A and B are shown apart, each in its own frame.
Chain A
Amino acid sequence: MATAESDKTGLSSKGKYKVIGTRPIRPDGVDKVTGRARYGADIRLSGMLHGAILRSPYAHARIKSIDTSKAEQLEGVYAVITHKDFPDASDKIAELGEGSVNLKHLSSNVLADDKVLYKGHAVAAVAAETTHLAYEALDLIEVEYEPLTPVLDVRKAMQDDAPILHENQRMEDMSPDATTSDKPTNIYKKFFFEQGDPDAAFEKAHIVVEREFTTATVHQGYIEPHAATAVWSAEGKVTLYTCTQGTFTVRQQVAELLGLPLSYVKVIPTEIGGGFGGKIRVYIDPVAVALARKSGRPVKVVMDRASVFEATGPTPGSWIRMKLGVDAQGKIVAGDTEIAFESGAYPVSPIGAGCMCVFSCYDIPDGRIIGYDVCVNKPHSAAYRAPGSTQVAFATESVVDEICEKLGMDPIEFRLKNASVEGTRRVDGVAYPRIGLVETIEAIRDSEHYQTPLAGPNRGRGVASGYWMNAGLKSSVTATVNGDGKVSLVEGSTDIGGSRASIAMQFAETLGIPMEDVVPAVVDTDSVGYTDVTGGSRVTYATGWAAYEAALDVQRQLCDRAAEFWEVDSSEVTYDKEDAAVKGPDGKSFGFVELAEKVTQASEPVVGRGVSNHNEPGGAFGTHAVDVEVDPETGKVKILRYTAAQDVGTAIHPSYVEGQVQGGVVQGIGWALNEEYFYDEAGVMRNASYLDYRVPTCYDLPMIDPILVEVPNPGHPYGVRGVGEVPIAPPPAAIANAIYQAVGVRMRHLPMSPPHVLHEILKKEG
């Protein structure tokens, strides 16, 4: 990996730390590669029943009646539930860390109330002795539907005569000329941000380019389907085993939906086979809990793949109008964009984040951003890795590329001239702290990849940048110093991308002990303090900070204990992390291991605690370069070479940072080339399997080369920035720009699948 590049900036963490920047084996690695790690569907409890969910065959229909009596009479069936088994939910909004949810909508999404709003919408659920019996019982449930016309496209859904999903929905208009209307609408909210006078600025522009873009609905594509197992105690408390990005978030949602006290719900996390934002909102967890309560037995519910596609939370399809103006020297003078996101069956979508990201990479003195959150008859959209950023980067970075061509300016030179820097104020009002966008552009410019000319027919190179703001939020950690000199580190962040390692490394660094002497454990909601979701690229930043605080607490307690042993005042004792030792007056010293043993034998236990709730996560920028080859006869795009430069703040564990960058790029390539929800006119997804929902395989990808640029985040003790999300944003735009260089067609729709690319080629050839 090309980490050497980052050293040239003089900003590398190399040499500054003992543990940070090294590449130890991750604590969860052996269990995962040997198949011993326990995932959601691996839970088996004695007396356990199996749940199954009846789903709507219609994309839009009114439920006239549900008759469950025949299913209830089938031998081996212990419980059948519908929406009626949930208490009435209020319109309260629950914050889930990366996004929020209206509890009434959440309740209707988990089991449909009076209407089904997408094909696959859950309608009823059964718990039975076996899975096959449960599915047989589903066939005995009689649901009478009144089918309604579905609306599947964001622009059609915005029209006045569109079928309406929610009769009581009125648009919330944030624009200055807002008028109130009592007309039902699919538009939940209109966002509006303006800076300066964009209309006047466009008048003076030398070149103006305005284009429209569309992107299809795509799924996170995590390998592990959702799985939840619930068991009740005799005293009315429930334990839930689930694969989730946030145990506390699941606890909150389940408690709210079922009307239970928060503390009566204990959520035990299993390992998680991917989430990417899709395992935050609950789907089957409340169903398992309700079935277990009604049957009096433990109940496991596991989704099949088709349900994961049809009935969890993909990321929105979108329509975007993008207009940029530049002066004769290539300086951007104005920007104006309208972004409409399909939020799916219920509001809200990540449109707010899309508005924040759309002009994030450039200094645009005069600009306007309008965003629409629009309901359509598709599953309720959810977060997906830098939610909203990829769609808008596709539009912005494609128009930037056209402007570069009209100016005759190299895309790197254009970006360096216009890049956001510390102090740049975005159109949505945020002014940046120290950021590293320029450094990522320079890293690409100086890379061996960009310096090597691309030869051969039908080949092209594209460049694009992207941004994600990252999140801070709340985390808790406790650390028990054991008699053998090792530390048990207890945390609440479920580990998706190597966070056991990155948290333990920051803890070890703070005490100057080897990472291998820290034993991390991801525990349930009764066993650690409140911790927000593993999302928003926040865990290494925020839970890492809590671990840093816990280590400082351990330092203080060890100093106090040593002072007692030496019978001196604790102000005379200091912790020396270089030597991992406690030092006192007259050359007195205890090594960490020695003191740990002594404390265990003769003093109060040393238990450190650390919490964090900081919100200066340091935005992350990336700039990517890609070489493609297009088959002009079939429109198939081959990725020849890919380099991704990213400001990662401080790379705590460089291998896992590189893995995050590579993983994000690969998902971006899938989104760019082939992934899409393909609907028929009735609103049925025709490709709800991995055969026809085409994520890239290893045969479709070159090695993705990451360049880690380290511009430390001033808002973190070790300079950490979130790294996981931003790498998904630039690939579609970079690939579109490369396709143009290769075969001369501008692709303005995602995915750029062979039929679409060939269509443009044939159109160009006449």
Chain B
Amino acid sequence: MKDFEYEAPVSLATAIEQIAAGNGSVKVLAGGTDLIDHIRTGRLTPSLVVDVKKIPELNVLEINSDGLRLGASVSCASVYGNEDICRDYSALSDSCHIIGGIQIQNRASVGGNLCNSGPAADSIPSLIALDATCVIAGPQGTREIAAEDFCTAPGKNVLESGELLVELVMPARPAKSGSHYLRFIPRNEMDIAVVGVGASVMLDETGETIQSARIGIGAAAPTPLFAKEASELLTGLPANEESFAKAAAAAQEIVTPIDDMRGTVEFRTHVTGVLTKRALHVAVERARKS
């Protein structure tokens, strides 16, 4: 580990100034559960670390008829500690429940999980399924981008030099909607997704027909994916296993996984289909109860 400077600004403007001045050799710290480990092992050698936990805009947690606003440094524990999120955005609380253990969840943030941009990040398929928009601030002002367009490669994303993720905005959830995230891990705890799938559905009044659906897939490509075709083909189909199987088959078409120490191409492709079916099944059950 090399020595570095540390700043903890209390305003968004100061943070952007400091990050921009850092000239690329700066790293943003929210929960730090990924960053500190990377610095310790020498994978990252920043000259400046900017702690963003003291900035009000990054600590927003608001849920109302417009939807959900989630500040980028809000912890996973705060997410699943919010009953409204657990009810209406359950895929996101599912994700937050399985990122690390309880100590990690008390520190780690959804924003940080997104900005770390790992292909296997557990929160990103849920953000995609819940149609999240990323609000980014920088020296040139503020811009917005869809969650599925945020990551560009393993560990890489759209943030330009000097830019900072401020919050994640998700639309309101109508009646008869439900969502779920699940992942496959070889063990039952303390593990990283070999494949992860987040799904959200909106049903008609009878609860029998799918009006719309969104499926996000993790760990099966260089970046988390929005399974567009698999999602859209479900519109108007009955909410049953046969429809889920169709979506699963379409989801399997878009993945481009690799062989590595966590799984094989064959395994990840097959399990993408399995988890898509299982995620949709639970999302529909939840929608019917909502």
Contacts and interface: CB of A to CB of B under 8 A. Distances in A.
A375 to B, nearest CB: 24
A762 B266 contact: yes
A635 B267 contact: yes
A132 B1 contact: yes
Interface string A290-319: 000000000000000010000000000000
A697 interface: yes
Interface string B213-226: 00000000000000
Contacts of B274: 633-634
Interface string B182-206: 0010111111101000000000000
B187 A694 contact: yes
Contact of A759 (B1, B187, B262, B267): B267
A699 B267 contact: no
A136 B1 CA distance: 8
B38 interface: no
A178 interface: no
B261 A759 contact: no
Contacts of A438: none
Interface in A653-678: 673-674, 678
A697 B189 contact: yes
B187 A696 contact: yes
Contacts of B192: 691-692
B263 interface: yes
Contacts of B189: 697, 699-700
B260 interface: yes
A585 interface: no
Interface string B245-288: 00000000000000011111011001100100000000000000
Contacts of B184: 634, 636, 754
Contacts of B42: 135
Contact of B267 (A135, A673, A694, A758): A758
A694 B194 CA distance: 13
Contacts of A686: 260-261
B-side interface size class: 20 to 34
A697 B186 CA distance: 11
A699 B260 contact: no
Nearest to A688: B261
A457 interface: no
B289 interface: no
Nearest to B194: A754
Given A635-B267, A686-B260, A687-B261, A754 B1 contact: no
The secondary structure that dominates the B interface is loop
Contacts of B187: 674, 694, 696-697, 699-700
Nearest to B262: A692
A753 B186 contact: yes
A762 B186 CA distance: 18
A635 B261 CA distance: 16
Q: Which of B186, B188, B267 has the most CB of A within 10 A?
A: B186
Contacts of A691: 190-192
A697 B190 contact: yes
Interface string B70-109: 0000000000000000000000000000000000000000
A755 B3 CA distance: 42
Interface string A56-82: 000000000000000000000000000
A635 B184 CA distance: 11
A753 B187 CA distance: 10
B261 A678 contact: yes
Interface string A679-717: 000000011000110101101100000000000000000
Interface in B160-191: 184, 186-191
B53 to A, nearest CB: 25
A687 B267 CA distance: 18
Contacts of B270: 633, 758, 762
Contacts of B3: 132
A755 B263 contact: yes
A225 B186 CA distance: 25
B264 A755 contact: yes
A54 to B, nearest CB: 13
A686 B258 CA distance: 14
Contacts of B188: 697, 699-700
B186 A694 contact: yes
Interface string B1-17: 11100000000000000
Nearest to A693: B261
Residue of A678, A694, A696, A755 most packed against chain B (CB within 10 A): A755
A678 B191 CA distance: 16
B281 to A, nearest CB: 13
A132 B192 CA distance: 30
Contacts of B266: 755, 758-759, 762
Contacts of A696: 187
Nearest to A673: B186
Nearest to B275: A634
Nearest to A698: B189
Given A674-B186, A754-B186, 20 more contacts: A132-B2, A135-B1, A633-B271, A634-B271, A634-B274, A635-B267, A674-B187, A678-B260, A687-B261, A697-B188, A697-B189, A699-B187, A699-B189, A700-B189, A753-B186, A754-B194, A755-B264, A758-B267, A758-B270, A762-B270
Q: Which 7 pairs show the lowest CB-CB distances between chains A and B?
A: A678-B261, A755-B267, A699-B188, A687-B261, A699-B189, A633-B274, A755-B264
29 contacts: A135-B42, A136-B2, A306-B41, A633-B271, A634-B271, A635-B267, A636-B186, A674-B187, A678-B260, A678-B261, A686-B260, A686-B261, A687-B261, A691-B191, A694-B186, A694-B187, A696-B187, A697-B189, A697-B190, A699-B188, A699-B189, A700-B187, A754-B186, A755-B263, A755-B267, A758-B266, A758-B267, A759-B267, A762-B266
